[in-house]
Protein backbone atom coordinates (compact mmCIF):
# COMPACT_ATOMS: atom_id res chain seq x y z
CA UNK A 1 0.00 0.00 0.00
CA UNK A 2 1.39 3.39 -1.03
CA UNK A 3 1.56 6.02 1.71
CA UNK A 4 2.99 9.51 2.11
CA UNK A 5 4.04 11.46 5.21
CA UNK A 6 1.42 14.08 6.05
CA UNK A 7 4.01 16.85 6.27
CA UNK A 8 5.39 15.94 2.86
CA UNK A 9 1.88 15.79 1.46
CA UNK A 10 1.04 19.24 2.84
CA UNK A 11 4.23 20.67 1.36
CA UNK A 12 3.40 19.11 -2.01
CA UNK A 13 -0.12 20.57 -1.98
CA UNK A 14 1.29 23.98 -1.09
CA UNK A 15 3.72 23.78 -4.01
CA UNK A 16 0.92 22.82 -6.39
CA UNK A 17 -1.34 25.61 -5.11
CA UNK A 18 1.38 28.25 -5.57
CA UNK A 19 2.13 26.99 -9.08
CA UNK A 20 -1.56 27.13 -10.03
CA UNK A 21 -1.88 30.67 -8.68
CA UNK A 22 1.31 32.04 -10.24
CA UNK A 23 1.69 30.15 -13.50
CA UNK A 24 -1.58 28.51 -14.50
CA UNK A 25 -4.46 30.82 -13.57
CA UNK A 26 -3.02 33.94 -15.27
CA UNK A 27 -2.60 32.12 -18.61
CA UNK A 28 -5.62 29.83 -18.84
CA UNK A 29 -7.63 32.06 -21.17
CA UNK A 30 -4.64 32.62 -23.45
CA UNK A 31 -4.21 28.91 -24.10
CA UNK A 32 -7.84 27.79 -23.88
CA UNK A 33 -9.33 30.39 -26.20
CA UNK A 34 -6.66 29.73 -28.83
CA UNK A 35 -6.76 25.94 -28.27
CA UNK A 36 -2.98 26.22 -28.04
CA UNK A 37 -0.66 23.51 -26.75
CA UNK A 38 0.64 24.84 -23.36
CA UNK A 39 4.30 23.97 -23.91
CA UNK A 40 5.58 26.15 -21.06
CA UNK A 41 3.12 24.67 -18.58
CA UNK A 42 4.00 21.14 -19.71
CA UNK A 43 7.66 21.87 -18.95
CA UNK A 44 6.68 23.12 -15.50
CA UNK A 45 4.66 19.95 -14.89
CA UNK A 46 7.76 17.95 -15.77
CA UNK A 47 9.75 19.92 -13.18
CA UNK A 48 7.03 19.32 -10.57
CA UNK A 49 7.28 15.58 -11.21
CA UNK A 50 3.65 15.23 -12.32
CA UNK A 51 4.55 12.91 -15.21
CA UNK A 52 5.93 10.51 -12.62
CA UNK A 53 3.31 11.17 -9.95
CA UNK A 54 2.16 7.56 -9.51
CA UNK A 55 5.30 5.83 -10.84
CA UNK A 56 7.36 4.04 -8.18
CA UNK A 57 10.41 5.89 -6.80
CA UNK A 58 12.39 2.83 -7.86
CA UNK A 59 12.02 4.14 -11.40
CA UNK A 60 12.35 7.84 -10.58
CA UNK A 61 8.70 8.66 -9.91
CA UNK A 62 7.03 10.26 -6.89
CA UNK A 63 5.14 7.07 -6.00
CA UNK A 64 2.10 8.97 -4.76
CA UNK A 65 -0.91 7.08 -3.40
CA UNK A 66 -4.14 7.49 -5.34
CA UNK A 67 -5.66 9.63 -2.59
CA UNK A 68 -2.86 12.20 -2.83
CA UNK A 69 -2.86 12.08 -6.61
CA UNK A 70 -6.64 12.59 -6.68
CA UNK A 71 -6.32 15.66 -4.48
CA UNK A 72 -3.74 17.15 -6.84
CA UNK A 73 -6.03 16.58 -9.82
CA UNK A 74 -8.93 18.18 -7.93
CA UNK A 75 -6.90 21.29 -7.16
CA UNK A 76 -5.65 21.77 -10.71
CA UNK A 77 -9.04 20.97 -12.27
CA UNK A 78 -10.79 23.61 -10.19
CA UNK A 79 -8.85 26.15 -12.26
CA UNK A 80 -8.09 24.34 -15.54
CA UNK A 81 -9.17 20.75 -16.00
CA UNK A 82 -7.67 20.18 -19.45
CA UNK A 83 -4.03 20.10 -18.38
CA UNK A 84 -4.66 17.24 -15.96
CA UNK A 85 -5.41 15.10 -19.00
CA UNK A 86 -1.90 15.68 -20.32
CA UNK A 87 -0.28 13.86 -17.42
CA UNK A 88 -3.12 11.51 -16.53
CA UNK A 89 -3.28 9.90 -19.97
CA UNK A 90 0.49 9.55 -19.77
CA UNK A 91 0.28 7.90 -16.35
CA UNK A 92 -2.17 5.31 -17.72
CA UNK A 93 0.56 4.28 -20.15
CA UNK A 94 3.06 4.14 -17.30
CA UNK A 95 0.68 2.13 -15.09
CA UNK A 96 0.25 -0.51 -17.81
CA UNK A 97 4.01 -0.96 -18.06
CA UNK A 98 4.66 -0.88 -14.32
CA UNK A 99 1.81 -3.24 -13.45
CA UNK A 100 2.11 -5.76 -16.29
CA UNK A 101 5.47 -5.23 -17.98
CA UNK A 102 8.53 -7.44 -17.73
CA UNK A 103 11.44 -6.31 -15.53
CA UNK A 104 13.34 -5.33 -18.66
CA UNK A 105 10.41 -3.28 -19.98
CA UNK A 106 10.08 -1.46 -16.68
CA UNK A 107 13.78 -0.63 -16.53
CA UNK A 108 13.77 0.57 -20.12
CA UNK A 109 10.66 2.72 -20.19
CA UNK A 110 9.59 3.86 -16.71
CA UNK A 111 12.52 6.16 -15.85
CA UNK A 112 11.96 8.07 -19.10
CA UNK A 113 8.22 8.20 -18.48
CA UNK A 114 8.78 9.53 -14.95
CA UNK A 115 10.80 12.53 -16.11
CA UNK A 116 8.46 13.30 -18.98
CA UNK A 117 11.26 12.78 -21.48
CA UNK A 118 8.89 10.34 -23.19
CA UNK A 119 5.24 11.29 -22.88
CA UNK A 120 2.19 9.55 -24.22
CA UNK A 121 -1.08 7.94 -23.40
CA UNK A 122 -3.47 5.05 -23.80
CA UNK A 123 -4.77 4.22 -27.29
CA UNK A 124 -7.99 2.22 -27.11
CA UNK A 125 -10.79 3.90 -29.07
CA UNK A 126 -11.33 3.27 -32.78
CA UNK A 127 -13.81 4.84 -35.22
CA UNK A 128 -16.28 1.97 -34.69
CA UNK A 129 -15.27 0.85 -31.19
CA UNK A 130 -15.53 2.98 -28.08
CA UNK A 131 -17.28 1.54 -25.04
CA UNK A 132 -17.25 -1.95 -26.60
CA UNK A 133 -13.49 -2.46 -26.75
CA UNK A 134 -13.85 -6.06 -27.87
CA UNK A 135 -15.03 -4.68 -31.22
CA UNK A 136 -11.69 -3.10 -32.12
CA UNK A 137 -10.35 -4.00 -35.56
CA UNK A 138 -6.69 -3.01 -35.34
CA UNK A 139 -4.58 -6.11 -35.90
CA UNK A 140 -1.00 -7.04 -35.05
CA UNK A 141 0.39 -9.94 -37.09
CA UNK A 142 3.56 -11.82 -36.34
CA UNK A 143 6.46 -10.84 -38.56
CA UNK A 144 8.76 -13.79 -38.09
CA UNK A 145 9.87 -14.52 -34.53
CA UNK A 146 11.12 -11.09 -33.58
CA UNK A 147 8.32 -8.65 -34.31
CA UNK A 148 4.82 -7.64 -35.34
CA UNK A 149 3.23 -5.64 -38.15
CA UNK A 150 0.30 -3.44 -37.09
CA UNK A 151 -2.42 -1.93 -39.28
CA UNK A 152 -5.45 0.12 -38.32
CA UNK A 153 -6.65 3.45 -36.91
CA UNK A 154 -7.17 4.80 -33.42
CA UNK A 155 -9.18 7.96 -32.71
CA UNK A 156 -9.87 10.42 -29.90
CA UNK A 157 -6.44 9.67 -28.44
CA UNK A 158 -5.32 12.20 -25.83
CA UNK A 159 -1.74 13.42 -26.37
CA UNK A 160 -1.98 11.87 -29.84
CA UNK A 161 -0.24 14.74 -31.58
CA UNK A 162 2.23 15.99 -28.97
CA UNK A 163 2.89 12.60 -27.34
CA UNK A 164 5.72 10.24 -28.22
CA UNK A 165 4.53 6.77 -27.24
CA UNK A 166 1.30 4.90 -26.47
CA UNK A 167 0.01 1.76 -24.82
CA UNK A 168 -2.10 0.48 -27.69
CA UNK A 169 -4.75 -2.24 -27.61
CA UNK A 170 -4.85 -4.45 -30.73
CA UNK A 171 -6.01 -7.89 -31.78
CA UNK A 172 -3.34 -10.53 -32.13
CA UNK A 173 -5.96 -13.23 -32.74
CA UNK A 174 -9.06 -11.80 -34.47
CA UNK A 175 -10.73 -15.23 -34.47
CA UNK A 176 -10.42 -15.81 -30.72
CA UNK A 177 -13.50 -16.84 -28.77
CA UNK A 178 -14.26 -15.25 -26.39
CA UNK A 179 -13.04 -12.15 -28.23
CA UNK A 180 -11.14 -10.61 -25.33
CA UNK A 181 -8.68 -13.52 -25.26
CA UNK A 182 -7.33 -12.42 -28.63
CA UNK A 183 -6.39 -8.88 -27.54
CA UNK A 184 -2.90 -7.64 -26.64
CA UNK A 185 -1.38 -4.38 -25.39
CA UNK A 186 1.75 -2.95 -27.02
CA UNK A 187 4.16 -0.12 -26.28
CA UNK A 188 4.10 1.82 -29.55
CA UNK A 189 6.53 4.72 -30.00
CA UNK A 190 6.15 6.95 -33.04
CA UNK A 191 8.14 5.85 -36.08
CA UNK A 192 7.84 4.68 -39.70
CA UNK A 193 4.33 3.48 -40.46
CA UNK A 194 2.86 5.48 -37.55
CA UNK A 195 1.34 8.77 -38.69
CA UNK A 196 -0.86 11.32 -36.95
CA UNK A 197 -4.10 12.21 -38.67
CA UNK A 198 -6.20 15.27 -38.07
CA UNK A 199 -6.49 17.09 -34.78
CA UNK A 200 -10.05 16.68 -33.51
CA UNK A 201 -11.85 19.91 -32.62
CA UNK A 202 -13.78 19.86 -29.34
CA UNK A 203 -16.38 21.90 -27.46
CA UNK A 204 -14.14 22.09 -24.43
CA UNK A 205 -11.07 20.27 -23.07
CA UNK A 206 -8.97 22.65 -25.14
CA UNK A 207 -5.18 22.78 -25.48
CA UNK A 208 -4.75 19.06 -24.89
CA UNK A 209 -4.56 17.46 -28.32
CA UNK A 210 -7.00 14.73 -29.26
CA UNK A 211 -5.99 13.07 -32.49
CA UNK A 212 -6.31 10.21 -34.92
CA UNK A 213 -3.44 7.73 -35.10
CA UNK A 214 -2.98 5.84 -38.35
CA UNK A 215 -0.89 2.66 -38.66
CA UNK A 216 0.14 1.28 -42.05
CA UNK A 217 2.53 -1.66 -41.93
CA UNK A 218 3.92 -0.34 -38.66
CA UNK A 219 6.65 -2.74 -37.52
CA UNK A 220 7.49 -3.23 -33.90
CA UNK A 221 9.84 -5.58 -32.01
CA UNK A 222 8.30 -8.45 -30.07
CA UNK A 223 9.68 -7.06 -26.81
CA UNK A 224 7.21 -4.15 -27.10
CA UNK A 225 4.33 -6.49 -26.23
CA UNK A 226 3.55 -5.61 -22.61
CA UNK A 227 4.34 -8.67 -20.50
CA UNK A 228 5.54 -10.43 -23.68
CA UNK A 229 2.53 -12.77 -23.60
CA UNK A 230 -0.28 -12.45 -26.15
CA UNK A 231 -3.96 -12.39 -25.23
CA UNK A 232 -3.73 -10.45 -21.96
CA UNK A 233 -4.41 -6.97 -23.30
CA UNK A 234 -8.06 -6.66 -22.35
CA UNK A 235 -7.36 -7.64 -18.73
CA UNK A 236 -4.37 -5.29 -18.62
CA UNK A 237 -6.49 -2.37 -19.81
CA UNK A 238 -9.29 -3.20 -17.37
CA UNK A 239 -6.72 -3.25 -14.56
CA UNK A 240 -5.88 0.38 -15.23
CA UNK A 241 -9.36 1.76 -15.80
CA UNK A 242 -10.10 1.92 -12.07
CA UNK A 243 -7.38 4.55 -11.60
CA UNK A 244 -8.49 6.26 -14.79
CA UNK A 245 -12.03 6.59 -13.47
CA UNK A 246 -10.77 7.89 -10.14
CA UNK A 247 -8.85 10.51 -12.10
CA UNK A 248 -11.92 11.56 -14.11
CA UNK A 249 -13.91 11.68 -10.89
CA UNK A 250 -11.24 13.96 -9.44
CA UNK A 251 -11.54 16.22 -12.47
CA UNK A 252 -15.29 16.33 -11.88
CA UNK A 253 -14.76 17.28 -8.25
CA UNK A 254 -12.37 20.04 -9.31
CA UNK A 255 -14.87 21.49 -11.77
CA UNK A 256 -17.72 21.21 -9.26
CA UNK A 257 -15.67 22.95 -6.57
CA UNK A 258 -14.33 25.55 -8.98
CA UNK A 259 -17.83 26.39 -10.21
CA UNK A 260 -19.01 26.67 -6.60
CA UNK A 261 -16.11 28.96 -5.71
CA UNK A 262 -16.82 31.26 -8.67
CA UNK A 263 -20.54 31.36 -7.88
CA UNK A 264 -19.95 32.06 -4.19
CA UNK A 265 -17.60 34.93 -4.98
CA UNK A 266 -19.74 36.47 -7.71
CA UNK A 267 -22.93 36.23 -5.64
CA UNK A 268 -21.35 38.37 -2.93
CA UNK A 269 -20.27 41.07 -5.39
CA UNK A 270 -23.32 41.27 -7.65
CA UNK A 271 -26.19 43.33 -6.27
CA UNK A 272 -29.84 43.44 -7.23
CA UNK A 273 -32.68 45.25 -5.50
CA UNK A 274 -30.21 46.92 -3.16
CA UNK A 275 -28.42 43.87 -1.79
CA UNK A 276 -25.92 41.15 -2.84
CA UNK A 277 -27.66 38.35 -4.71
CA UNK A 278 -26.31 35.83 -2.18
CA UNK A 279 -28.92 37.22 0.20
CA UNK A 280 -31.75 36.22 -2.13
CA UNK A 281 -33.28 32.88 -1.22
CA UNK A 282 -33.32 31.67 -4.83
CA UNK A 283 -29.54 32.00 -5.01
CA UNK A 284 -29.06 30.48 -1.56
CA UNK A 285 -30.97 27.37 -2.65
CA UNK A 286 -28.63 26.96 -5.61
CA UNK A 287 -25.48 27.49 -3.53
CA UNK A 288 -26.67 25.00 -0.91
CA UNK A 289 -27.25 22.30 -3.53
CA UNK A 290 -23.93 23.04 -5.25
CA UNK A 291 -21.95 22.85 -2.02
CA UNK A 292 -23.56 19.53 -1.08
CA UNK A 293 -22.94 18.01 -4.52
CA UNK A 294 -19.30 19.07 -4.51
CA UNK A 295 -18.71 17.69 -1.02
CA UNK A 296 -20.42 14.38 -1.77
CA UNK A 297 -18.44 14.00 -5.00
CA UNK A 298 -15.18 14.64 -3.14
CA UNK A 299 -15.93 12.06 -0.47
CA UNK A 300 -16.97 9.40 -3.00
CA UNK A 301 -13.78 9.97 -4.97
CA UNK A 302 -11.46 9.84 -1.98
CA UNK A 303 -13.26 6.68 -0.80
CA UNK A 304 -12.59 4.96 -4.13
CA UNK A 305 -8.97 6.15 -4.11
CA UNK A 306 -8.44 4.79 -0.59
CA UNK A 307 -9.78 1.37 -1.63
CA UNK A 308 -7.49 1.43 -4.68
CA UNK A 309 -4.52 2.23 -2.41
CA UNK A 310 -5.33 -0.79 -0.26
CA UNK A 311 -5.01 -2.96 -3.35
CA UNK A 312 -8.65 -3.99 -3.27
CA UNK A 313 -11.02 -4.23 -6.21
CA UNK A 314 -12.84 -0.92 -6.58
CA UNK A 315 -14.57 -0.94 -9.96
CA UNK A 316 -17.92 -0.33 -8.30
CA UNK A 317 -16.63 2.46 -6.05
CA UNK A 318 -14.61 4.05 -8.87
CA UNK A 319 -17.70 3.86 -11.09
CA UNK A 320 -19.82 5.51 -8.40
CA UNK A 321 -17.28 8.28 -7.94
CA UNK A 322 -16.87 8.88 -11.66
CA UNK A 323 -20.63 8.89 -12.28
CA UNK A 324 -21.57 11.16 -9.39
CA UNK A 325 -18.62 13.57 -9.61
CA UNK A 326 -19.01 14.11 -13.35
CA UNK A 327 -22.73 14.79 -13.00
CA UNK A 328 -21.90 17.16 -10.11
CA UNK A 329 -19.46 18.97 -12.39
CA UNK A 330 -22.11 19.35 -15.06
CA UNK A 331 -24.83 20.51 -12.66
CA UNK A 332 -22.60 22.92 -10.73
CA UNK A 333 -21.18 24.49 -13.87
CA UNK A 334 -24.69 25.11 -15.23
CA UNK A 335 -25.96 26.50 -11.93
CA UNK A 336 -22.89 28.71 -11.53
CA UNK A 337 -23.39 30.06 -15.04
CA UNK A 338 -27.02 30.85 -14.21
CA UNK A 339 -25.95 32.65 -11.05
CA UNK A 340 -23.53 34.71 -13.14
CA UNK A 341 -26.37 35.60 -15.50
CA UNK A 342 -25.30 37.15 -18.81
CA UNK A 343 -21.71 37.46 -17.56
CA UNK A 344 -21.52 33.69 -17.24
CA UNK A 345 -21.99 33.44 -20.99
CA UNK A 346 -19.05 35.74 -21.64
CA UNK A 347 -15.56 34.47 -22.42
CA UNK A 348 -14.25 37.12 -20.05
CA UNK A 349 -15.41 34.99 -17.13
CA UNK A 350 -13.93 31.64 -16.14
CA UNK A 351 -17.24 29.89 -15.60
CA UNK A 352 -17.87 29.51 -19.33
CA UNK A 353 -14.73 27.36 -19.60
CA UNK A 354 -15.80 25.13 -16.72
CA UNK A 355 -19.19 24.83 -18.41
CA UNK A 356 -17.53 23.67 -21.66
CA UNK A 357 -15.12 21.30 -19.91
CA UNK A 358 -17.65 19.56 -17.66
CA UNK A 359 -19.39 17.35 -20.28
CA UNK A 360 -16.13 15.55 -21.07
CA UNK A 361 -16.13 14.04 -17.57
CA UNK A 362 -19.50 12.40 -18.27
CA UNK A 363 -18.08 10.70 -21.37
CA UNK A 364 -14.40 10.00 -20.69
CA UNK A 365 -13.23 6.65 -19.24
CA UNK A 366 -16.61 5.08 -19.99
CA UNK A 367 -19.93 6.90 -20.31
CA UNK A 368 -22.05 7.44 -17.24
CA UNK A 369 -24.67 5.11 -18.69
CA UNK A 370 -22.02 2.38 -18.66
CA UNK A 371 -20.94 3.32 -15.14
CA UNK A 372 -24.44 2.72 -13.82
CA UNK A 373 -24.51 -0.71 -15.43
CA UNK A 374 -21.13 -1.57 -13.87
CA UNK A 375 -22.33 -0.37 -10.47
CA UNK A 376 -25.51 -2.42 -10.67
CA UNK A 377 -23.75 -5.59 -11.82
CA UNK A 378 -21.16 -5.35 -9.04
CA UNK A 379 -23.86 -4.60 -6.49
CA UNK A 380 -25.71 -7.77 -7.47
CA UNK A 381 -22.52 -9.82 -7.59
CA UNK A 382 -21.48 -8.68 -4.11
CA UNK A 383 -24.92 -9.28 -2.62
CA UNK A 384 -26.20 -12.64 -3.88
CA UNK A 385 -29.33 -14.04 -2.31
CA UNK A 386 -28.65 -16.99 -0.03
Q: List domains and CATH numbers for the chain.
A: 6-115 (1.10.540.10), 121-232 (2.40.110.10), 235-382 (1.20.140.10)
Residue 131 has pLDDT above 80, yes or no: no
> Helices in the chain by DSSP H: which ranges?
6-19, 28-34, 39-48, 66-80, 82-100, 103-115, 233-269, 281-309, 315-340, 351-363, 368-382
Q: Which residues, 6+ apart, have CB-to-CB distance to 291 below 8 Å? A: 260
State the chain's mean pLDDT as an integer. 95
First-to-last alpha carbon distance for the chain, in angstroms, is: 33
Q: What is the mean pLDDT of residues 10-17?
A: 97
- Confidence class for position 144, pLDDT limits 50, 70, 90: confident
pLDDT at residue 343 tops 90: yes
pLDDT over 90 (residue 334): yes
Average pLDDT on 42-66 reads: 97
Residue 215's pLDDT is 96
pTM of the full predicted structure?
Answer: 0.95
At 76 the pLDDT is 98
Q: Is 365 labeled as catalytic in the residue annotation?
A: yes
pLDDT of residue 145: 77
Options 71, 98, 352, 365, the catalytic residue: 365
* β-bridge pairing 120-123 and 165-171: parallel
Amino acid sequence: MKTIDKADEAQLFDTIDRWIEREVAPRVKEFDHADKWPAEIVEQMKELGLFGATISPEYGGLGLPATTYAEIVMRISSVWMAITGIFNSHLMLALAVEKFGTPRQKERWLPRFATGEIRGGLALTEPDAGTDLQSIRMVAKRDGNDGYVINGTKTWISNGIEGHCFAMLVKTDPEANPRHTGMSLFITPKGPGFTVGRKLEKLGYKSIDSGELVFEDYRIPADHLIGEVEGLGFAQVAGGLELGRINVASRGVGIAEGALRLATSYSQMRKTFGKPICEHQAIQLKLGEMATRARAARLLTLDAAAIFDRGERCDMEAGMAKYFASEAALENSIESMRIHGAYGYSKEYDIERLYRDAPLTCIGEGTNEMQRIIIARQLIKRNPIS
